[in-house]
Amino acid sequence: MGFFDKIFGLDLEDVVQPNIPFGRYTDSYKSAAQYDAWDQSLEAFEKKRYLDSYRLFFQYLQDNYINNVRVEEADGQINFELLQGSKKITGYANKKVVRVAAKVVQADDLNIGFMRRLMEENYKMEYGRFALDKDQDIAIVFNTYVLDGSPYKLYYALKEVATKADKMDDLLIEEFDVLHHSDNSIVEQIEPSEKEIKYTFLRRNIEEVIQEIDGGSIKQEKYPGAIAYLLLNLAYKIDYLVIPEGYLMETLERIHRLYFSKDGKNNIQKNIVLYKEFKHLLTRPKEAYYKELYRVTKTFGITKPAAHDRVVSFIDGELHHMDWYWENGHETIAKAIPGYIVGYCLFQFAVPKPVRALFHLYYQVTEADYFRDLGFEYHFVEGQQPNKRVIRKAIRRIIENNKIQYPRFNPELGNLDYTSILGFAKSFLLMIRNSDLTK
C-alpha cells in the first residue's frame, strides 16, 4: 500500500492501485514523536546544548513516510541534507555556526539580465541570499552563529532557502537561455504514458472552460462571478490532480494571486487576465509540459494549517451559490462551485487529515474518468451515477483510519445524494461541513 493510500485509506479492494501522489505536500501532519522532538530541541537550545538541539530538530523534520532528511556526524559536526522538490539543501552545524546552501542553476555566462533578477530576489528574502559557490553555480546560502540559531530561526531559514531554490530553477531557466539545471539527480521521472494522460487532461479541461466562456449561455458582463468560478476551479483542479512543477505551477499560483490581489481591478477585468493566462498555456508545446511533470520529495509544505472551522466557513460562504445555476440549467457552472471550494481549500490550506482524505474522494468521484485513465480501479462512479456502496465503504475507511486522533469524527452518510454527480457534490460538502473534527 502506497503512502497516499495510507493517508486516504482507500485500499478498498484487493487490487494493486497506482502509487501516484496528488496535491501539495504538507508538513503539518506530524506524529507525536516529532512534536516531542521539537519540544526537546527547544529545551536543549535553552540550555545551550546546541548540537543536541539540532539533532532533535532534524528528527522533527524527518517525515516517517519518505526519506527526506539525512544526517551524519563527524568530528563534532552535524552534516545534513534535506530534499525539497528538485533540490538538495546541504549544510553543517558545529559548536559555532550553521551553514546552509542549495544549488539553483548553472550559468554559461554571468550576464547582467539574470544577475539583476537575482539581486531583486535577494531583496525579497529574509534569511537566505543568492551567491556564486565554489563550483561557479548560482546557489542560495544562509548562515548564522549558533548563539542566534534557535530551532525557530533555523526552521524558517531552511524553509525559505528550500522552497525558493526549488521554485526558482525552472523559472530562471525558462527566462534565461544561459542558465541550466545544476543537478536533477533526485528527480523521479514518471512514465511517458502518465505524462500523456496528465497533459491531455489539463489541455482538455482548459479548452472546455474556454469554450464555455466563449460560447456558453452565461455572459461575462452579466455574471462575472460565474466565470470566476470556472477559471479558479480549473486552476485548482489542475494544481491538485496534475501536480505540475516549474512554469505551469507558477502560472497557476499567479492566477490565484491575480484574482485575489487588491489592485483596483473589478471582477470582469480580472477574469479577462485569467482567461488570457489559460489561453497562453494552450500555446505552449507538449514537450514543455512533459519537462515539468515529474515526482519529487519535499521537506517543507507551503500550505497554511487550517482548522475545520475555516473549511466550514468557506463552505457556508460559497456552496449556496450553486443553487441558482443548477435550477436554471447551467450545470457546468453549478459543478464548478463545489469544485472551487474543494480546490481552494487544498491549494491554500493544510486542512485536517480526514477532511483532506474526503476532498480527495470528492475528486475521485467527480473526475472518475481521469483516475480510471491513470489506472485506478475504485469504481466510485458507475455510468453517470456515484456508486453508493463503494463511496460509503471509502468514507467508513477514512473514519476508521482517523478514529484515534478524531474520535468524534463520524460523518452522516444517510444524507448523501447519489442520484447525480451534482447532487452528490452538494450533499458531500454539506456532510463535510457538518462533521465533528474536535479531538
Mean pLDDT of 243-263: 93
Q: Work out the pLDDT band at 278, boundaries 50, 70, 90.
A: very high
Name the DSSP letter for residue 297.
B
What local confidence, expressed as pLDDT, does residue 2 receive? 47
Q: Which residues contact 93 (CB under 8 A, 6 or more apart)?
A: 50, 51, 54, 77, 78, 80, 99, 146, 149
User: What tens digit of pLDDT does each residue of 132-141 get?
Assistant: 888 778 999 9
Query: Residue 273 half-sphere exposure, CB side, CA atoms within 13 Å?
Result: 17
- Report in angstroms the alpha-carbon separations of 197 from 29, 285, 341, 373: 30, 15, 25, 7
What local confidence, expressed as pLDDT, does residue 5 receive? 47
Q: How many CB atoms lie within 10 A of CB 22?
A: 18
CA–chain centroid gap for 357, Å, is 14
Query: Residue 65 half-sphere exposure, CB side, CA atoms within 13 Å?
Result: 17
Exposed/middle/buried for residue 238 (C-beta within 10 Å: 0-12, 13-18, 19+): buried
pLDDT of 8 over the 70 cut? no
Q: How many CB atoms lie within 10 A of CB 411?
A: 22
User: What tens digit of pLDDT does each residue of 155-210 get?
Assistant: 999 999 999 999 888 788 888 888 888 776 678 899 999 999 999 999 999 999 99
Mean pLDDT of 95-110: 91
Vertex 310: Cα angle to 60 and 346 (nearest 5): 65
Q: Rounded to 5 degrees, what are φ and ψ at 16?
A: -80, 110
Least confident of 90-104, 125-139, 314-328: 125-139
Which cell numbers hold the place of 125?
528574502
Least confident of 173-177, 283-287, 303-307: 173-177
Dihedral angle over CA of 147, 152, 153, 158, nearest 10: 130
What local confidence, expressed as pLDDT, does residue 399 receive? 96
